[in-house]
Amino acid sequence: MAEEIRTGVYVCHCGTNIADKVDVEAVGKFAGTLPGVVVSRDYKYMCSDPGQDLIKKDIKELGLNRVVVASCSPRMHEPTFRRALAAAGLNGYLFEMANIREQVSWVSSNPLQATVKAKSLVSGAVRKVKYNRPLEERYVPVNPNVLIVGGGVAGLEAALKIAGSGNQVYLVEREASLGGKMAKFDKTFPTLDCAACILTPKMVEAGQHEKIKLLTYSEVVQVDGFVGNFQVKVRKKARYVDVNKCTGCGDCEAVCPVNTVDKFNEGLSQRKAVFKEFPQAVPNVYQITKTGTPPCRLTCPAGVNVQGYLALTRQGKFSEALALIREAMPLPAVCGRVCFHPCEGECRRGDIDAPVAINAVKRFLADYEAKNGSAQPASAPASGRKVAIVGAGPAGLAAGYYLSRAGHEVVILEGKAEAGGLLRYGIPEYRLPKEILRREIDQIARSGVNIRTNQWLGRDFTLEKLRREYDAVFLALGTSKEQTLGIPGEDLQGVLSSLKFLESANTRAESVRGRVLVIGGGNAAVDAARTALRLGAQSVEIVYRRTRDAMPAFAEEIREAEKEGVKFRFLTAPLRVVGRGGRVQALECQPRQLGEVDAGGRRKSIPATGPNVLLEAELIIAAVGQKVELPASLVGRVALAAKGTVQVDEYGKTTSDGVFAGGDLVSGPSSMVSAIAAGKEAAGIIDAFVRGEALPGPAPKPRPLPKAASVTEFYKAARHEPAQLEPEKRRGLSAEVTVTLSEEEVLDEAKRCLDCGVCSECQECVKVCQAGAIDHRMQDEEVELEVGNIILATGYEILDPSVGVQWGYGRFPNVLTGLQFERLTNASGPTAGRIVREDGREPEAVAILHCIGSRDKNYKEYCSRVCCMASLKFAHLVKDKTKAKVYEFYIDMRAYGKQYEEFYNRVQDEGVNFIRGKGAEVLEKDGRLVIRAEDTLLGVFREVPVDMVILNTALIPRADADAVARLFTIQRSADGFFLESHPKLEPMKTATDGIYLAGTCQGPKDIPDTVAQAAGAAAEALEKISAGRVRVSPITAYCLEELCSGCKTCIPLCPYNAITFSEEKKVALYNEALCKGCGTCVASCPSGAAHMRNFEEEQMLEIIEGVCAL
């Protein structure tokens, strides 16, 4: 360093603030002994003009080129002294401060040690400043757009001020409407103006202002950049109503069948799933609450909107409910009988008592239609395309139905004499009457599907012919071949597959004689057993190799079979069929036991010790499954997958062009509803295929409900279980065993649904909305904004008083929070402004309890500031609207604002009883609420009976204040509210330049203070905008390229992407315009190439040596 260092050191007394604890004179003298120091002085107030003049004079007269001031925190006066240096012609960065006030004199209780500490800090500063270099301030332009977060009165005020100056504002509000908490209030203290009357004009003005862009029902999700140039991402949550189309007419609300808790009314009433928060909402549009896809719908293979049809059913809209089912599944009467209804297994109501009888409701709806007639849903206009479907089982029928509704000409070719596949030939009549099936298939035919039976592939037509004549072919042949037992004697006369047995029973119904054994544990086995019994079998026994619990058949089927007299033999497996003269005589069986869990998650059946048994029988029915049998004419034309099913790609296309396949033919044996789902899915793809459009990818994943969605209120009624025909009446094949629920039972059962998804997507609103504004498939979207300044006006929450069991909230009705009372007394609230108890009676006495959770070390230590006045307002309103006596329980009455004390006096004059003492406990005695409190003025303990209690709860930081603070890189104070830059002088600023605070997010305050702070925050932003540019710190990192080894260590460390790699020079390139000066890269550079201005390594080592010197 060529220049001679000439340092001046100035020790400030700060009146007595420093001088009381630190021997400032000694510190000054000590400084004079340090190397490079040419002058050292102590002075009463260094920050004063004469103090600054001392420095300026010495710079000029003594030729100082470095300055150290030992005084307060640099966060106070560093800029002051830098300016003083600059005024004397010296670069402001040739300066250091030693913080001997906040960090020495004010925290010390020992003058001797404090003086040593002060000296050490001065020593460090003097050593460091030698290496300080002149730095040039940088300026960046300020984007004049402003982001305001929160649309309550604070956000509105700030937005209108800034927009009024002609600058663009983006106003982000989390809820559906502007207004915030104030919109919930009835009157405002002390003037008693109506809150809505003074707030709504601001809301409307903000809504209409050309310089304010509203982003309601939106949240800020990402903030990048810095003062003057922030990049912000905002997520606009899906409202499911188009804000630009909705007229706010409310037709949707009138038809919505779903009620949910009205949060705007603080849970005092219910609202519809489609709603507007309050009459004066801005924007004046509706929105729909969806919590996710309910588990019933999520688990249904066909995705039937269960909640939707239950909601419509309970309104008696049976045909609408059925039409909704048909949107997902065209065979409701069949499904209502034979579906395995996994929906009921998942039903949330099952967590409370028993699941909703979903399947029985569906069955009723279909049967109701059969009796009362139906309306055919409209089909799309004819497309001119033709599709052929081979197989009229559930998959083929579903595909045909949806393709026909999409406007295509559809023919289904069925080999058997009747359509229905296994529904027709595999399920016995007593479970699914033929007439019901026929009616459903007729309905599908009426939708335009041409079903042609007795058409065998290979005999009556070929695949080639179909390909020539149709635009696409869908193969839905199912699994038509039975699995064999694979044991000796299986080919004896008297051994049948369940498939053959049930088919013959379903066509000819020949009688059965003698003893029957059924092998297997699925529904086919139970069906075969019960059918055999009905056809006259002497006895029927089901032989199953696992246990009863492991049977795949439905529990109710097993139960009914047992009632009818079917016997069960578990843990038994067939070994061989014993016969004589070619006829069955007996079945030799082996005892089994359960072993390890297999790949399918069930325990294996393995041989057990014990003698084999010989079971005599005249008929053995093997119900051990089915498999695909490809017709000869398809062999070689469509490829098979390894498991023997037809091979398809992700779109269900076979290896033959234009030929699709689905259902059991592709999946192997599964359920009827899965086959329907496969047919419906194929229809969607084939529709796009024949139209020449891009094939649709997999449907977007539905959003499941949150697990912990708690339900507090629900319709209390037991499940209506469908009745079963008495076993003695079940003779013959056709008597249907399960009875359809009655209309009354179904109306009641549908009310049991918890509406756990809130909106049921029943589509009623879509039908009535003339503006076409409703879109249930709307998705969240993200918008990116560029702004120069940000104002946070995110508001507060109230303490949930149920945390203190003594206050009775949540335990007793008629114990309300202040906000609930605001809604109760509000003309737009649940009682249209009448102050009544839950039972509708007017209270005879009301207690208002102050400081619930405030000024209480168990909860919040601070005073919430607004409660005293709000309590007086409540007292006045009760007095005004009722004849009730009013008791105020207070600790201290704080009426500090303009006209507040006068209001207090007025309310006292109105005859309100003031009891000085905190309401300690709320009890219930003799049907009334009783407040226990110590009256500290009289010195007595009191119990006051009342009929309503208003708890004036603490204002607390919002639950996500921590996340929001991190998002905007600001801090929170000890009480959890956002931290202002300075509690007195910078209450609107935060430590992050360009981010300001307005209203209660910074701490509890009333409306006048909130509005004042909001206007102040707007002024802060406008100051930056007017200046047009903003100073940014010159303290940045840089790279000495000749030392850089190109290791790239620093690059991922930089949170601002300020470092890139030059492939040409093989070194790191530092963009100082992006650097914020944290120095992390510098600390981690293994080559010593990264440097940081004003925090250079040599400066750091010097200051360390300096402070360690004594």
Partner 1 sequence: MSELTTGSAAAGSASEYEPKIVGFLCNWCAYTAADLAGIARIKYPDNIRIVRVMCTGRVEPTFVLKALSAGADAVLVAGCHPGGCHYQEGNYKAYKRTLLLQSMLPQFGIEKERFRLEFVASSEGEKFARVVGDMVAKIKELGPLSGAGTRLAALDGFFAADARMEGGVNLG
Instruction: State the residues that interact with partner 1 by CB under 8 A.
Output: 23, 26, 29-30, 73-75, 99, 101-104, 106-110, 112-117, 119-121, 124, 965-966, 969, 971-974, 979, 991-992, 1035, 1043, 1045, 1047, 1049-1050, 1053, 1055, 1076-1080, 1082-1088, 1092, 1095, 1097, 1100-1101, 1103-1105, 1107-1110
Q: Name the minimum Å distance from CB 1088 to partner 1.
A: 4
- Tokens 């930089």 correspond to 1054
State the DSSP H helix or E strand holding residue 138, giving kind and residue range, or none if neither: strand 138-141
Query: Minimum CB separation from partner 1 for residue 365, in Å?
Result: 53
Cα 687 to Cα 681: distance, rounded to the nearest angstrom: 10
Residue with Cβ nearer partner 1 (100 or 517)? 100
**Which residues lie below 8 Å from residue 984, measured CB to CB, with a gap of 6+?**
none
Closest CB to partner 1 among residues 124, 521? 124
| Residues whose CB falls within 8 Å of the CB of residue 793, separated by 6 or more in sequence, listed in order | 148, 149, 150, 151, 152, 154, 155, 158, 997, 998, 999, 1001, 1014, 1017
Q: Which is nearer to partner 1, 94 or 398 (CB)?
A: 94
Comparing CB distances to partner 1, the nearer of 253 and 1041 is: 1041
Residue whose CB is less far from partner 1, 379 or 971: 971
**Integer Cα distance of 462 and 413 in angstroms:** 11
d(CA 848, CA 840): 20
Comparing C-alpha atoms, which of 999, 532, 564 is closest to residue 793? 999
Q: Which is nearer to partner 1, 571 or 1103 (CB)?
A: 1103
Q: State the sign of the Cα–Cα–Cα–Cα dihedral 933, 939, 941, 946.
A: negative
Question: Is the CB of residue 878 less than 8 Å from the CB of residue 911?
Answer: no
Please identify, using beta-carbon distances, which residue of 536 and 1086 lies nearer to partner 1.
1086
Q: What does each C-alpha distance from 816 to 142, 181, 289, 839, 1089 come to in angstroms? A: 48, 17, 26, 14, 65
Q: How far is the CB of 377 from partner 1 (least distance, A)?
A: 54
Closest separation in Å from C-beta 248 to partner 1? 41
The H-assigned helical ranges of 571-671 are 664-667
CA distance 431 to 138: 84
Say if strands 212-215 and 449-452 run parallel, antiparallel, or are unpaired.
unpaired
For the CB of residue 894, give the shortest distance to partner 1 in the complex, in Å: 23
Task: Give the helix/strand (H/E) hosting 682.
Answer: helix 672-690
Name which of 119 and 314 has its Cβ closer to partner 1.
Answer: 119
Residue with tokens 């089912």: 325
How far, in Å, CA of 512 to CA of 498, rounded? Answer: 14
Q: How far is the CB of 101 from partner 1 (least distance, A)?
A: 7
Q: Give φ, ψ of 712 to 5 degrees.
A: -105, -35
Residue 966 region, left (φ>0) first, then alpha (ψ -120 to 50), else beta? alpha
Smallest gap, in angstroms, from Cβ of residue 972 to partner 1? 6
Nearer to partner 1, 110 or 208 (CB): 110
Q: Least distance (Å) from partner 1 to the CB of residue 843?
A: 43
Task: Please report how many Cα atoms fall inside a 13 Å half-sphere around the Cα of residue 644, on the Cβ side.
Answer: 13
Closest residue by Cα to residue 401 from 425, 417, 419: 419
Residue among 212, 208, 206, 210 at smallest CA distance from 152 = 206
Smallest separation, CB 594 to partner 1 (Å)? 51
Q: How far is the CB of 703 from partner 1 (least distance, A)?
A: 27
* Residue number with CB closer to partner 1 (497 or 990): 990
855 within 8 A of 862, measured Cβ to Cβ: yes
CA distance 654 to 682: 12
- State phi, psi for 1085 to the nearest 5 degrees: -70, 120
- Other beta carbons within 10 Å of 37: 21
Give 220 or 1085: the residue with its C-beta nearer to partner 1. Answer: 1085
Q: Which letter does DSSP use for residue 917 in this model? A: S
Min CB(1070)–partner 1 separation in Å: 15
Question: Shortest distance, CB of residue 795 to partner 1, whole angstroms?
Answer: 20
Beta carbon of residue 968, minimum distance to partner 1 (angstroms, whole number)? 11
Question: Please, which residue, 102 or 910, has the CB nearer to partner 1?
Answer: 102
> Which residues, in sequence order, are bridge partners of residue 224?
231
Query: Which amino acid is residue 74, in one-letter code?
Result: P
d(C-alpha 285, C-alpha 176), whole Å: 9
Give phi and psi for 72, each to the nearest 5: -85, -165
Q: Which residue, 375 or 1110, is less far from partner 1 as judged by CB?
A: 1110
Q: Are 685 and 661 in contact (CB under 8 A)?
A: no
**Shortest gap between Cβ of 797 and partner 1 (angstroms)?**
19
Which lies closer to partner 1 via its Cβ, residue 935 or residue 1096? 1096
Whichever of 102 and 253 has its CB closer to partner 1, that residue is 102
Contact 1053, 1080 (CB under 8 A): yes
Shortest Å distance, C-beta 1094 to partner 1: 9
